[in-house]
Amino acid sequence: MDCHVHLGPSDSGEVYYGRLEGPEYLELMPPAGLTHAIAFPPLRHGGYASANRTLLEWCDALPPGGPTVRPLARVGGDRIPVTEPQLWLVRKAARARVLATLGRRRAADVATDQLARYAGIKLLPHLDGLPGDDVFDAVNQLGRPVLTHAGRYVTPDWIARTVLPRVRGRLVLAHLGAFPDREADLKAAVALAEREPRVVLDPSGIWIEDFWRYAIERVPRQIVFGSDCPLTAPAVAWTFLEHVVRDPGLRRHMGGELPFEVFDSVIRTREPQP
C-alpha cells in the first residue's frame, strides 16, 4: 500500500507541487506492485472543500476487482503555528489571527458528519493551519488516523506538544518527520515514535539512505511505505525501499501489514459509508 499520494487539481502555482489525476496514478500502481493507496488533494490556497469531495467521489466510483484508493480529507483552520522565526510565517499567522478576529473564518474543508467516508485527515499546519477541535473529536470518535506533514516549520517537537494531545488514534508523521533533510528533526521524530507506540513514520519525500537506516534501526515496526507521488513515482520509491530494507518480512510489514492496520476501518471495502 502507498500511504502518501497527492491526487487532483491545485490552485498553487509552485512548480514543486506536482499535479496528477486519479487515472494517471492507477497506471503507476501495477509497476510498483501496488493494489491499495491512500490519497489526498495537493496544496490549495483556497481551501479543500471541493477538492476533497471530488477525490472522494472518484475513489468511491472505482470499479471492484481493481486497485483501491481511499481518500484522506485534507483540512486546515485559522491557527497557524510559528515553530521557527521565519518572517513570512509570522506574517501568515498574524494575518490568520486578524481574519479570525474579524469573523472571516475559512469555509469548512469537510463537514464533520461526512468524515466517516474518508480514511482520515491530512494536515499541512504551517500553510493550511490547524482545524478546530470539532474535527479532531469527529476523527477520534471514528477511530481514524491523522497524517501530518512534519519537518521544517512543522517540527516533531511541535507536533508532540500540539497535535498528538488532540489525537487518540494513530498519528502518522510524513517525511520521517524530517522534511526536507533535517537531521535534528529526524532524531526528534524517531524519539517520539519510541515514546509513543501509536506514532507511525512515513518516509515519503526523504530519499536519504542513512535517514531511513536510522529510523529502521530504532523503530522498524512503526514505518509505513509512502511514495509522495507525483513527486516520486511509486515504483521508484519502492525500489529505494527494497535497496535499504533487505529483510522481506520487514518490507511486507512496511508495505502491507502496518498500513492495513492503520487504515483497516476503511481500506478493505469499496462501498462508501453512509
CATH number of the domain encompassing residue 130: 3.20.20.140
Domain, as residue range, for 215: 2-267
Report the C-alpha gap between 244 and 33 in whole angstroms. 17
Cell of 178: 524530517
Q: Which of left, alpha, beta for 153 (phi over 0: left; psi -120 to 50: alpha)?
A: left
Say whether 108 sits in a helix, a strand or coil: coil
Mean pLDDT of 77-102: 63
Mean pLDDT of 220-247: 97
Answer yes or no: is 272 within a domain. no
What is the Rg, in whole angstroms, of the alpha carbon atoms belonging to the chain?
Answer: 17
At CA 194, angle to CA 164 and CA 135, rounded to 5? 15
Answer yes or no: is 63 within a domain. yes
pLDDT at 87: 59
- Per-residue pLDDT band for 14 (boundaries 50, 70, 90) equals low
Answer yes or no: is 174 within a domain. yes
Answer yes or no: is 273 within a domain. no
The model's pLDDT over 66-82, given as tens digits with 9 standing for 90+, comes to 999 999 999 988 777 76
Average pLDDT, the chain: 89
Answer yes or no: is 274 within a domain. no
User: Would the pLDDT of 272 be above 50?
Assistant: no
Residue 46's CB is within 10 A of a number of other CB atoms, namely 12
Which residue type is seen at 160? A
pLDDT at 54: 96
pTM (2 d.p.): 0.90
Answer yes or no: is 141 within a domain. yes
Domain count across the chain: 1
Mean pLDDT of 115-130: 93
Say whether 102 sits in a helix, a strand or coil: coil
**175 within 8 A of 147, measured Cβ to Cβ:** no
Answer yes or no: is 54 within a domain. yes
**151 within 8 A of 179, measured Cβ to Cβ:** yes
The model's pLDDT over 15-63, given as tens digits with 9 standing for 90+, comes to 666 689 999 999 999 999 999 999 999 988 778 999 999 999 999 999 9
Answer yes or no: is 53 within a domain. yes
User: Would the pLDDT of 88 be above 50?
Assistant: yes
